[in-house]
Structures are given as structure tokens and as C-alpha cells.
Amino acid sequence: MALKIVKGSIDRMFDKNLQDLVRGIRNHKEDEAKYISTCIDEIKQELKQDNIAVKANAVCKLTYLQMLGYDVSWAAFNIVEVMSSSKFTYKRIGYLAASQCFHENTDVIMLTTNQIRKDLSSPNQYDTGVALTGLSCFVTPDLARDLANDIMTLMSHTKPYIRKKAVLIMYKVFLKYPESLRPAFPRLKEKLEDPDPGVQSAAVNVICELARRNPKNYLSLAPLFFKLMTSSTNNWVLIKIIKLFGALTPLEPRLGKKLIEPLTNLIHSTSAMSLLYECVNTVIAGQYSCSVGRIKSHLLCVQKLRILIEDSDQNLKYLGLLAMSKILKTHPKSVQSHKDLILQCLDDKDESIRLRALDLLYGMVSKKNLMEIVKKLMIHVDKAEGTTYRDELLTKIIDICSQSNYQYITNFEWYISILVELTRLEGTRHGHLIASQMLDVAIRVKAIRVFAVAQMATLLDNAHLLTGNMQRNGICEVLYAAAWICGEFSEHLENPVQTLEAMLRPKVATLPGHIQAVYVQNAAKLFATILKNQEGNTDSTAAQETSQMMIDRLPLFVQSANLEVQERASCILQLVKYIQKLQQKDVEVAEEVSALFAGELNPVAPKAQKKVPVPEGLDLDAWINEPPSESESEDEQPKAIFTKEEPKHSRPRHTEVDEKELARRREARKQEQANNPFYIKASPSSQKVYQEAPGVEHIPVVQIDLSVPLKVPGLPMSDQYVKLEEERRQKERAEKKKKEKKKRKEKRSGRGKKHDSGPESEEDITPAHVVDIVTEEMPEVAQEDQNHLPSPYLCRVKICICMFCLCRPLADSEKLPVRSHRAAGAPKSPAEDGEAENATPQEPKKKSSKEKRDKKKDKERDRKVRLRCWKHLPPSGHKSDSRSTPSEGRTAARRQLRRCNLMTQCFTFLVFPFSRKVCDIQGNLQDGSQVVVSVIFENKSDSFLKSMEFNVLDSLNSKLQRPEGSGPHDGLTVPFQLPPGVSNEARFVFTVQSIVMPQKLKGTLTFIVKNEDSSTHEKLDFKLHFTCTSYLITTPCYSDAFAKLLESGDLKSSSVRLEGVNMPFHHLLARICFHHHFSVVERINSCASMYSRSIQGHHVCLLVKTTVSIDAKCDEPTLLGNVLDEIKQTFSQC
Amino acid sequence: MRFMLLFSRQGKLRLQKWYTATAERDKKKMVRELMQIVLARKPKMCSFLEWRDLKIVYKRYASLYFCCAIEEQDNELITLEVIHRFVELLDKYFGSVCELDIIFNFEKAYFILDEFLMGGEIQDTSKKSVLKAIEQADLLQEVSWASELT
């Protein structure tokens, strides 16, 4: 043996250790892969040896290689071997390797369960620690389930080192095995008050993370956390607590009020930026809910954020802006006053800060400052380096201006000139964005058309400036808009012939196809207008010259490789030729020609197509043709806002299009046209909107001196509008003042009303132009269908824990699994843990006797009594017990509970009108006709309660069992008294005749409230709800027995449909099992059979289908009907 | 915290710790992508960036980048503190740490990280107790080493 070890040690001396490996890799930079593959071969050899030291060394090297990106999954088993070494040195390496290399699908993880369990219970705390650390990385649902109980025990370990690790890993366990949360929670809660600060902060961490996922369950911890928050000085812990409160506040608005003070104190006092930032964030997020300190607190936040933004530290600046944008949503005004600061940030060296500032600006604009802000941004556009940032600026400018339907734009001439200025940007790829804005504004703002047309004509005239450079390809999209606007609104053109000439220049043929097509089409429109203008003249030569120009120039487009251009051009060419013939015969054609393009085009809402009902028999998803191959779909151009550009060189397959393919394309084109707001199409409703829109006459139009540089391209001119606008506003203000003065004069005799002529407010600014067409066209059908459901993709559910309430006691099924031999011997077995959990309400009894002595100290406060009831049935064999006094019945029921370990639950709620407290009953039923109801009395008041008497109004069916000799209406004395805050349990026995109907029993609790100086007699009414479900007991049933039962023919059937239930099928089943005490007999694909038995032996069988219908059979139809109703109700509540 | 990466200016990964189960392929992809983004950032830029649905907090110490991915609601500044604390711990343990220390003793670096963070949460806020735990574990390692040789 010794020899072997020595031999191993000697061998090892020749092996490479980690250092050698690293050094080797560094020395073989050129042929790293080759070197490593030889290393891996060596490692494989090493792993084959028996010596654990050699193996550990090999595994260590593998871990390094894994980090470099090499696959080491083949060595998983070796890693497990090293993990199970008894030597800490190797164990540590083994666990490290496992934590780096294992993941949920590593199959050897199954082998580790016992090893890990052994390590967890190791006497050496570092063994345990290493195992916990490793486990935190590779815990799987299986491991979590098997080890949850062991880890839970470790939470109470004597060493804080282990406790804190155990607490932290519990979080991972909860995520993987949510069922462990409830049993472990009480202990986790205890750890919040652990003497060791490390353990405490770990517990805070875990609860905070849990609460962020489902805050509701943790509201009850708020007081405890509040105490921690005000007492703790550890910033790490404070941040977590504040985060937790941030999650809780939306659920409990009162918390906000309570928190605001400590939070503002912290904001004032702390020197830690991280804590300050957290506080500010929480205050911002929670603001809507706390109204009292609100005004001050958000101002304080803005003030603090300003300090952050002004700081030289880039990080603080960034976060300050980030938080500022959150405040902006709720308090835009308070942020707007810091406009200067935010504009400054645009100059920052750091691009991410600039982008943040841009985001903020978007929300900060108002009618008043829009021009100023955009002016600043334009300056930045000019000096911005790097196209990405400049493009970002460009889109932001457009976003800012166009937001909420151009709400903040008062002068559209200014906006158009901004857009024109933007076209001069080098190499932007947002040409289409500018173009769509131009179109949108020109279409919607009628008053601007004259101006827009003039500008666009200039653009067309100088098109060579835009297209001259291939680099600026993106921007030529603007010409699309320019051509369309000039064509569509050609009646406003000053010199249409010149524009027409510009549109038909040979250079146009170099533009992308879809733009050329628009050029050709709009040249025709222009032509129509020119004809109309010239026809009145006596001299018809001008008109004929224009026709001649068209005929001369159009053939260039007829030869275009682009089909669209070709088609349009040849069509129009023929038309013009025909017109020319008519002109030569002196026929007046202008009317007819312009009729071709008559009618107003309105924007179509993007959703319009969706609203058009699909005709019957048309399946839009079905392929008309064979689906195209993958490669073909990749060829498709990214969607442009305009029509798709046809590839310049038609591919061979285009030549062999068959009839079907053509049909498909035609369909696609129709679709596209329908979606394209700019596509000219006949629409019966197109005229309507026009008539409804407010008249053009009412729009104030600013006189513009056109002699100023407007027509000179290449010079910025939007600035001039800023000045103009300023003047206009001043003028308006002056007029207003005049009017006000007049009014005041008129009203001099009346009460002096104060007119504030100070700084102008938002409302005072009247826009120079208004957007006329606000509504977009929608088909009349389905107009009323406006409420859009939120997209299902928006709500992503992260984890499924926390679906349940933490306050209710444990069910048997929820107890943590444990190996049976331990449960037998160990005193702290989980079964008993669970038992203790169940019995918690009973514990206070001992306490209450103690507190009874202190009763005199109690002071008078308001009284609230809370009742919680359990219903238990004594076993049939214990009838003598059940007939005896309630206290005896209780012990019997408890024994029963322990023996059968069978507990079913149901929830019902009792509403007490007196104290307005909701209470729950939970039932546990066994055979027989007797039911034990255990009631927990909890004194929520601050007074002492005594002489409690419990009485229930008997019904024919159910009777409260009273001691012999007492009358049928006598109450039962509750055998204890209740000091404030104490709860205790009493049990009462009921006899029930028939269980087929649910029933409610009315009852009264009388008691004496004793204060220091007085005592009063009080009464509390309540109802006990015995549901049919509570008479059912979960009973397992084998499928063959189940089949026989169904075949017997003794059962009556009934069925029910659950409406609006869309939960996963297994959840549905779990719910039925849980709430209604059924067990699943068999589950086959889309349906499951379930079984339960009543305390009187009725069989209840269900067949649940995924279509959420339930077919049920039972030998008692009334019972069945009621149970089904209750099931239905359960699902209607969720 | 979702994961922590340490990588050099040359784009060599020095340490990676994943606190949520991630497939090996995704890990590689994410690491590559992140390294590219972070390395491209200029020194004067702030330490935070938004990436996919995560927030990335990174800091450069000498030639090493420490990079953490946190969730939407997490606090960026405290994450910077975590990084700094980790660096301090390494520094204390190795005695003015340098990249080579971490390369050659990468398992030690992991041990320290594991003592400091567990499952992405801070385990102990006290530097002393983390170092103490590491020292004692090391001691234990040496003892078992020694006992094996004798």
C-alpha cells in the first residue's frame, strides 16, 4: 500500500501540473490547438490511474481548459470521482470542476446526490461549505428535491459560515424546486434575525430576490424589514431592503407613506452613491402611491440627480440621466427645468451618455422649447463624428418633432426646412425616414402644401447634389417624397414646367427603380396640371411644347430595366402621344387628363388591412404555390417603406413564371398596395374625410418673404423660422394683452380678476398650422373593435414559485421528501417538522397561560378577533372520543392526524361583519357522520378577551354536539382566555346527517373585552361553510379498480365545462387535486381520470379533458352536482 | 447577478462564473459578443451598458476587465462595488495581484470568488471573514497534503 502511494507520488512528479500547462500554452502560441490536444491525451492517461492525486491534478487542468473553451464533458465521471475524495484538497478541486463544467443535462449529476449529502453533513465545515458552493452552481430540480431537507437543516447549523451559505443556496433550491419554499420559509424568516450579520444579510438577500418575483407573499414581513431598515448600517443590506420595499409598495400603498421619511433621510444623509441611487430609484418608482411627501420627495430626487449628472464621474452621470428619464414620466415639469444640464450632456465625450441625454430630450420638449432644442440638436448633427451617432441624432430629431401627431410643432414651415436641411447629411441611411416625414406632413397639414411644394421643387431641381455621390445613396429616397409631393400637389407649383423638366432629366435614370417609377407617374400628374393651366391661354403652342418634351424624354424610361418604370413609362408615353394628336386638332383635353388624377389621397392607418374581414373561403396562410426555398426568401429585400425595389437584373427563374406564380404576385402586390398609405388607389371613402376636416380658411398662415434664401439650396434656413416664430408669438401675445386690456376696461366695474401676463404657458402658444388629418382611414367594418388585447408576449413569467400563500399550513404532499430510515430515527425528521408546522397554531396555548399573568399590563386598544377554523373528523374507531368534550375530541383528532397523516384541505372564507376580518376554514375529514371543526381564535386587538362562548344555530342536517344535560341552544364555553396578540385553538364536534349538500351554519361568538378600566360584552357573528368538497377525502385508486367501478353501472353521470380556463393541463389537474381532494388515476395525453371518495363512501370519478370539460360519475347525483359546481367556482376565481 | 467574466485586453478569458444554467454554446457566444463590445469601448466611457435584456457592468483594472451581467432592477453601483471588493480580495490574498497570478492560480481565484459570491448573491460583506475562510480552507488543504506525504 505504502509502496503504491510512493509510486504514485513519484509518477506525479513527472506529470504536468497546472502551472506547467499554463506555461506550455503560453509558449506554444502558434500551435496552441495542437499543444492542447496532446495535453488532453496526457490528461486522459492520467485519469486512468488509480492515484487520486493524479486524477485531481488532471481534473484541475481540465477545468482550466474548459475555461479556454474546450469540451471536457467526457471527463464528467472523473470529476465526480475527485469530488468524492475524502481529502479536502481534492474534494475542493472536484467541486470546482463540477461547478464549472456541470449543467442540468449532465447525466452524472444523478450519481452525486449521496456524495453531496454526505459532504453536507460532514463534521468539517469546509467540506460542507465547498459542497454548498458547488451545489449552488449545478443544482438541478432533482438535486434540489432530494437535498432540500438537508440544506434546510443546515440553515440552523451552529457555524454561521454554514448557515449563511445554506440560506443563500436555498434561493437556488426554491427556483429549482418551488415546493420547498413553504416548508423552508419559517426558518428562512427566522434567519432575518440571526445574530450573525452575514447570515442576516444572506436572508435579506434571498427574501428580497423572492419578493421581486412575487411580492404579495412577503407583505407580512414589511414591519420586520422596516425595523431592519431603520436599524441597519450595512449599506449592502440596506440596498436590498430598499429594493424589497420597492417591490412591495405597489401592493400596499400605505407603505409608501411610511417609507418616504426614512428614504428621504437616507437620501440626505448617506455618502454612499449606490445607496443614494437605490433610494432615489425607489422613491421615483413608488411615487404614484404616496401622495403626502410626494411633491417634496421628487424634487429632492431631481436635485440629487442633478448633482450626480454634474459629477465628473461618467458612471454617475449616466445613472443620473437614466433615473432622470424615469422621473420624466411622472413629473415632466420638474425635469424640464434642468434642460440646460441635459443639453450640456450632448457634448459629453461618452456616446452612451449622449444617447441617454437624447432619450431624455425626447420627453422634455414642449411647444415652447421644441425649436430651441431642435436647433441645438442640429448643431450637434453638424459636428457629430461617426455616422452611428449622427444617425441616432437624426432619428431622434424626427422622433421628437413627430411625437404624438406633431403635437409640439407650431410652425410646419420650420419643420419642413429642418427636414430639407437634414437631407444634406453625408451618408445617412435614414433617407426613407426623412422622406416619409415629408410625405406625412404634406398630406396631413394642408396649409403647408404650398410651402412644401416649393421646397420639394427646389430639391428636385438640385437632385444632383443629393445623388452626385454614391456614398449618399440612402438619401436619394428623399427624392421619392419630393417627386410625389410635387406631382400630387402640382397646383401649388410656381413654375411647373421647370419642375417637369427637372423630373425628366436623363440623370434620373440612375436613381433606384422605385424612385424612377414615382418620377414617371408624377411627371404625368404634373403634365396634367400644366395642360390645365395652359389650356385657357390663347396660345396653344406652350401646351404642345410640353407634350413634345414628354414625348422626347419618356422613351428613356421606357427602356428601363425596371419593370415598374417601364410599364408606367410606356403607358404614359402612349397617353401623351394620344393627347398630342388631340391637341393638334385643337381639342380641349385638360379636363379629361386631370380627371385621371382627381381626388384626395388620405393616409391609411397601419392597422387598416387587419380590419378588413377575410372573405369566406380564403385561407391566407395556405400556400397558393409551392413554398419557395429558403434561399429565395433570403433574397428578399429588407422591407422598405415604399414599394420593393425589383432586382436590376432579372434572374433566370423570373422568366419562367407560370400563371399561378403571377397570381400569387398579383395578390402580394395588392396586399402591399393596401398597406401602402401612399399608393394611389380608388377608395370610395377618400373624399369623405376631406369634407369633414376643418376648412383651410381657419388656419392662420404666416406670410413668408420668399425673397429670403428659401430658394437657395445648401444654406441652413430653419433658424430663420425660429426668429419668425418668436415674432409671431410676440405679436400674438401683444394682441392678447390688448384684448385683455380691453376686457379689463370693460370689466372695470366688476370684481378685479387677475390676468397673469407673466411667462407664457403651453396653452398660450397657438400653432401657426394645425394637423388637419388626424384620423387615418380605416375600413368601416369592425370599426368598433378598438380594444386591443395586450400582446401575450409582453407578459413573460419568469419563475413559477410563489404561487401559493405562505401563511397557510403545510399539506402532507408538500413536506420535503426524506429517506425513510432517517425519518424513523432522527428526532428532527421533516415529517415532524411538517407536523410542528401544522401544529403551530396550537403552540400559543402554553404561551397564553404565561401571558395570562401579564394581562393586567394590557392597555385599551381596538379589538379585532380573528378566527381560523379547521374541520377534522375523528376516526370511526374513536367514536367515544368524538362524543366527549371538545378538548378531548381535539386530542383525538390530533392523534388521528398523526396516525393517518392524511390531511385534506379546503378554503372557505368567513366574513365577520363586526370586525370585517376574513377567516379561513380548513377541513380534515374522515369516515363517519361526525365532523370536528377546530377553530383558531386569534386576538388581534389590544385588549384582553375572556369568557368566550361559541354557539352555532343548529340546522336539521348538522348539529353541534353539546355536553349532556345542556339545551339545544346553549353555547359551548371556550376553555381558555386570550391575551392580546395570542391565538389558541378549540375544537367542536358536529354531527352531520347528509353530506350531499353544502351548507352554511350561522354562529355567534360572545366574549368579554377587558380593558384596564372597563370591560364590555361583545358579540361576533360568523358563518361556517361546509362545502361538499370538504367531505371528500383524497383516496388513491388503481386504474383497474377504477375501470371496474365505471363498468359497474351504479354511477350516475354528469358533466361540466370550465369556461375561460387557459392554464396548462397539469396545473389544472393539480388544482383539482389540491382544492377538491382528488387523486389522478391515470393520465393519457389529452385527458386524465381522477378519483375521490366521500366520508360516507360515495365514489366520485372525473374524466378531465384538455378541452377543459369534465365528465363526472358518482353514485350520488346531488353530491356530484355540488362538487362540480364547486370545481367550477374554483376555476372561475382564477 | 447572472454571470461574471474576467478577460484580458487581448480578449483572453481568464475567469468565468455563471450563476444561471446556460448551455455551453450560448456561453461561448455571449462571452465572445460581450468581449467585443466591452473591448471596443473607449476608456473615458461609463462602465454600464445595456445588452440584450441585461445590464452589463464592467471595470478595467490594469490589463484585466471585470465584467458582470445583472438584471434590470439591479443596482449598477453596488455591482461596481462588488467588482472592486473582489479585486481587493484578490489583492489581499495574492499581495498586489497581477494577471499572471490569476492565470497560474486560477483555481484559487475561483475559491475566493466562491467565498465572496454564491449563486450570484453576496455571501459576506466583510472582507476579513472572506479572507479568513479562504485561509483556513487553505490551511486544511495543506494539512491534508502533508498528511498524505507522511
Q: CA–CA separation, A132 vs A202, rounded Å? A: 14
User: Does residue A977 fall inside a structural domain?
Assistant: yes
**Contacts with A426 (C-beta within 8 Å, 6 or more apart), sequence order:** A387, A471, A472
**Residue A143: all three cell numbers together:** 438535486
> Could you tell me which chain B residue has the CA closest to the CA of A198?
B124
B4-38: pLDDT as tens digits? 999 999 888 889 998 887 788 888 899 999 999 99
Q: CA–CA separation, A1099 vs A1051, rounded Å? A: 8
> Could you tell me which chain B residue has the CA closest to the CA of A8?
B149
How far is the CA of B31 from the CAs of A385, A1020, B87, in angstroms?
29, 65, 20
CA-atom Rg of chain A in angstroms? 41
pLDDT(A640) > 50 = no
**Residue A96: all three cell numbers together:** 470546482
Average pLDDT over residues A740-765: 51
pLDDT(A826) > 80 = no
pLDDT(A695) > 60 = no
Q: What is the pLDDT of residue A910?
A: 32
Average pLDDT over residues A206-222: 86
What is the DSSP secondary-structure string of A1032-1092?
Answer: EE-----HHHHHHHHHT---EEEEEE-TT--S-HHHHHHHHHHHH--EEEEEETTEEEEEE
Say if residue B87 is exposed, middle or buried (CB neighbours under 10 Å; 0-12, 13-18, 19+).
middle
pLDDT(A676) > 70 = no
Q: Chain B: nearest CA to A231, how far in angstroms?
A: 17
pLDDT(A812) > 80 = no
> Could you tell me which chain B residue has the CA closest to the CA of A356?
B49
Three-state SS for A659-679 is: HHHHHHHHHHHHHHHHHCCCC
Q: What is the pLDDT of residue A647?
A: 40
Q: Which of residues 197-236 of A touch B (CB under 8 A)?
A: 197-198, 201-202, 205-206, 209, 212, 234, 236
Amino acid, res. A407: Q
Q: What is the pLDDT of residue A560?
A: 86
- Are residue A415 and residue A520 in the same domain, yes or no? yes
Report CA dihedral (A488, A489, A495, A496) to the nearest 10 degrees: 20
CA-atom Rg of chain B in angstroms? 16
User: Does residue A866 fall inside a structural domain?
Assistant: no
Amino acid, res. A7: K
Average pLDDT over residues A826-850: 41
Residue of B27, B68, B110, B147 best to disrupt the A interface, most CBs of A under 10 A = B110
Q: What angle do CA A153, A219, A265 make, to 5 degrees?
A: 110
Q: What is the pLDDT of residue A712?
A: 39
Q: What is the pLDDT of residue A950?
A: 80
Interchain proximity B103–A22, CB inside 8 Å: yes
pLDDT(A768) > 70 = no
- Are residue A429 and residue A509 in the same domain, yes or no? yes
pLDDT(A704) > 50 = no
Which chain A residues contact residue B14 at CB under 8 A? 67
Q: Chain A: nearest CA to B114, how far in angstroms?
A: 6
A539-575: pLDDT as tens digits? 678 888 888 888 998 998 998 888 999 999 999 999 9
Q: What is the pLDDT of residue A745?
A: 58
Kindly list the strands in the beta sheet with A908-912, ordered across the sheet, starting from the edge strand earlier in the chain. Answer: A908-912, A917-924, A865-872, A930-939, A983-992, A958-960
Least CB–CB distance from A89: residue in B103, B118, B141: B141
Query: In the CATH hierarchy, which fold is given to the domain comprising B3-149?
Result: Beta-Lactamase (3.30.450)
Count Cα neighbours of A738 within 13 Å in the Cβ-side half-sphere: 6
Q: Which of A468, A514, A558, A518 is nearest to A647 (CA)?
A: A514
**Contacts with B134 (C-beta within 8 Å, 6 or more apart), sequence order:** B93, B111, B112, B115
Q: Chain A: nearest CA to B73, how far in angstroms?
A: 8
Task: Centre a 10 Å sphere on the Cβ of residue A61 and count the other Cβ atoms it contains.
Answer: 24
- Are residue A1011 and residue A1041 in the same domain, yes or no? no
**Residue A568: all three cell numbers together:** 408606367
First-last CA distance in chain B? 44
Q: CA–CA separation, A31 vs A27, rounded Å? A: 9
Q: What is the pLDDT of residue B105?
A: 87
Which chain B residues contact residue A266 at CB under 8 A? none
Which chain A residues contact residue B78 at CB under 8 A? 236, 239, 274, 278
Which chain A residues contact residue B46 at CB under 8 A? 314-315, 317-318, 350, 352-353
Q: What band does A412 get if pLDDT is binned at 50, 70 and 90?
A: confident
pLDDT(A1014) > 80 = no
pLDDT(A50) > 60 = yes
Q: What is the pLDDT of residue A990?
A: 77
User: Does residue A587 fall inside a structural domain?
Assistant: yes
The H or E element that residue B13 is part of is strand B13-18
- Are residue A1013 and residue A1036 in the same domain, yes or no? no
CB A335 within 8 A of CB A299: no
Q: What band does B55 get if pLDDT is binned at 50, 70 and 90?
A: very high
Least CB–CB distance from A274: residue in B15, B24, B75: B75
Interchain proximity A278–B78, CB inside 8 Å: yes
Which chain B residues contact residue A308 at CB under 8 A? none
Q: What is the pLDDT of residue B6?
A: 92
Interchain proximity B44–A350, CB inside 8 Å: yes
**Contacts with A155 (C-beta within 8 Å, 6 or more apart), sequence order:** A163, A166, A167, A170, A184, A187, A188, A191
Q: CA–CA separation, A1026 vs A350, rounded Å? A: 68
Q: CA–CA separation, A529 vs A494, rounded Å? A: 12
CB A112 within 8 A of CB A101: no
Interchain proximity B73–A239, CB inside 8 Å: no
Measured in residues, chain B has a length of: 150
Q: What is the pLDDT of residue A1134?
A: 61
Q: What band does A300 get if pLDDT is binned at 50, 70 and 90?
A: confident
Beta bridge partners of A930: A991
Q: CA–CA separation, A907 vs A837, rounded Å? A: 18
What is the ipTM score, two decimals?
A: 0.94
User: Does residue A1060 fall inside a structural domain?
Assistant: yes
CATH code: domain of residue A985: 2.60.40.10
pLDDT(A948) > 90 = no
Which chain A residues contact residue B108 at CB under 8 A? none
The H or E element that residue A206 is part of is helix A197-213
User: Does residue A535 fall inside a structural domain?
Assistant: yes
How far is the CA of A116 from the CAs of A91, A112, A136, A613, B136, in angstroms?
11, 6, 12, 62, 21
Q: Chain A: nearest CA to B66, how far in angstroms?
A: 15
CB A323 within 8 A of CB A309: no
Q: CA–CA separation, A714 vs A663, rounded Å? A: 47
The C-alpha cell 463624428 sits at A385
The domain spans of chain B are 3-149
Q: Which residue has the higher pLDDT, B113 or A712?
A: B113
Count Cα neighbours of A603 within 13 Å in the Cβ-side half-sphere: 21
pLDDT(B65) > 90 = yes
> Could you tell me which chain A residue has the CA closest to the CA of B42?
A350
Which chain B residues contact residue A246 at CB under 8 A? 73
Interchain proximity B48–A315, CB inside 8 Å: yes
Q: What is the pLDDT of residue B69?
A: 94
- Are residue A528 and residue A571 in the same domain, yes or no? yes
Which chain B residues contact residue A281 at CB under 8 A? 75
Size of interface A-B (CB pairs under 8 A): 151
Among A599-613, A857-871, A958-972, B87-101, the minimum mean pLDDT is found in: A857-871
Angle of helix A88-101 relative to helix B127-149, nearest 10 degrees, comes to 120
Asked whether the CA dihedral A84, A85, A88, A94 is positive or negative, the reply is negative
Q: Which residue has the higher pLDDT, A610 or B93?
A: B93
User: Does residue A758 fall inside a structural domain?
Assistant: no
Residue A126 near chain B (CB below 8 Å) = yes
Interchain proximity A315–B129, CB inside 8 Å: no
What is the DSSP secondary-structure string of A167-185?
Answer: HHHHHHHHHH-GGGHHHHH
User: Does residue A170 fall inside a structural domain?
Assistant: no
Last residue of a domain, one of A597, A621, A639: A597
Q: Which of residues 329-368 of A touch B (CB under 8 A)?
A: 349-353
Q: What is the pLDDT of residue A328?
A: 84
- Are residue A471 and residue A537 in the same domain, yes or no? yes
Amino acid, res. A693: A
User: Does residue A705 fall inside a structural domain?
Assistant: no
- Are residue A481 and residue A584 in the same domain, yes or no? yes
Residue A167 near chain B (CB below 8 Å) = no
Which chain A residues contact residue B76 at CB under 8 A? 277, 315, 319
The C-alpha cell 400674438 sits at A732
Q: CA–CA separation, A767 vs A732, rounded Å? A: 11
- Are residue A457 and residue A548 in the same domain, yes or no? yes
Percent with pLDDT over 90 in chain A: 4
Q: CA–CA separation, A934 vs A847, rounded Å? A: 19
Least CB–CB distance from A314: residue in B18, B46, B137: B46
Amino acid, res. A633: S
Which chain A residues contact residue B48 at CB under 8 A? 315, 318-319, 352
- Are residue A1014 and residue A1124 in the same domain, yes or no? no
A147-158: pLDDT as tens digits? 999 999 999 889
A483-516: pLDDT as tens digits? 999 988 888 888 888 888 888 888 888 888 888 8
CB A841 within 8 A of CB A985: yes
Among A285-299, A602-616, B55-69, the minimum mean pLDDT is found in: A285-299
Q: What is the pLDDT of residue A1084?
A: 78
Q: CA–CA separation, A282 vs A583, rounded Å? A: 77
Q: CA–CA separation, B108 vs B100, rounded Å? A: 12
Which chain A residues contact residue B45 at CB under 8 A? 314, 349-352
Last residue of a domain, one of A572, A597, A622: A597
Q: Chain B: nearest CA to A475, how far in angstroms?
A: 29
Q: What band does B149 get if pLDDT is binned at 50, 70 and 90?
A: low
Measured in residues, chain A has a length of: 1134
How far is the CA of A154 from the CAs of A148, A745, A793, A987, in angstroms?
10, 86, 40, 36
**Residue A939: all three cell numbers together:** 386576538
Beta bridge partners of A478: none
**Residue A443: all three cell numbers together:** 398630406
pLDDT(A429) > 60 = yes
Q: What band does A673 get if pLDDT is binned at 50, 70 and 90?
A: low
CB B122 within 8 A of CB B116: yes
Interchain proximity B118–A168, CB inside 8 Å: yes
Residue A314 near chain B (CB below 8 Å) = yes
Average pLDDT over residues A415-442: 84
Which chain A residues contact residue B122 at CB under 8 A? 201, 205, 236
Last residue of a domain, one of A566, A597, A628: A597
Among A226-240, A391-405, A731-745, B25-39, the minimum mean pLDDT is found in: A731-745
pLDDT(A752) > 50 = no
The C-alpha cell 419559517 sits at A186
> Could you tell me which chain A residue has the CA closest to the CA of B100?
A22
A134-149: pLDDT as tens digits? 888 888 888 899 999 9
Number of domains in chain A: 3
Residue A20 near chain B (CB below 8 Å) = no
Q: Which residue has the higher pLDDT, A729 or A71?
A: A71
- Are residue A988 and residue A1077 in the same domain, yes or no? no
Which chain B residues contact residue A89 at CB under 8 A? 141, 144-145
Average pLDDT over residues B113-129: 86
Q: What is the pLDDT of residue B5?
A: 93
Beta pairing, strands A1032-1033 & A1099-1105: unpaired
pLDDT(A1043) > 50 = yes
Average pLDDT over residues A932-936: 71
Q: CA–CA separation, A206 vs A200, rounded Å? A: 10
Domain that holds residue A1114: 1031-1132
**Residue A817: all three cell numbers together:** 421528501
pLDDT(A917) > 60 = no
Among A580-584, A670-674, B47-51, the minimum mean pLDDT is found in: A670-674
> Could you tell me which chain B residue has the CA closest to the CA of A93?
B107
Q: What band does A922 get if pLDDT is binned at 50, 70 and 90?
A: very low
Which chain A residues contact residue B126 at CB under 8 A? 197-198
Q: Dihedrals φ, ψ of B36, to 5°?
A: -60, -45
Q: CA–CA separation, A186 vs A180, rounded Å? A: 11
Q: What is the pLDDT of residue A4?
A: 54
- Are residue A1083 and residue A1014 in the same domain, yes or no? no
CB B25 within 8 A of CB B47: no
Interchain proximity A103–B23, CB inside 8 Å: yes
Interchain proximity A133–B13, CB inside 8 Å: no
**Contacts with A111 (C-beta within 8 Å, 6 or more apart), sequence order:** A77, A80
Q: What is the DSSP secondary structure assignment for residue A408, as one 8-state letter?
A: T
Q: What band does A801 get if pLDDT is binned at 50, 70 and 90?
A: very low
Q: What is the pLDDT of residue A744?
A: 59
Taking each continuous run of H as one helix and of E as one strand, the counts in chain B are 5, 7
**Residue A239: all three cell numbers together:** 440596498
Q: Which of A63, A19, A68, A62 is nearest to A42 (CA)?
A: A62
Kindly list the strands in the beta sheet with B64-70, ordered across the sheet, starting from the edge strand earlier in the chain. Answer: B13-18, B3-8, B64-70, B54-61, B48-51
Least CB–CB distance from A205: residue in B75, B103, B121: B121
pLDDT(A653) > 60 = no
> Could you tell me which chain A residue has the CA closest to the CA of B29?
A69
Which chain B residues contact residue A198 at CB under 8 A? 123-126, 129
- Are residue A964 and residue A985 in the same domain, yes or no? yes
Q: Chain B: nearest CA to A162, how far in angstroms?
A: 11
Mean model confidence pLDDT for chain A: 73
Mean pLDDT: which of A135-149, A321-335, A689-703, A890-904 is highest?
A135-149
Average pLDDT over residues A657-685: 59
How far is the CA of A1108 from the CAs of A1103, A1123, A1128, in angstroms?
10, 16, 11
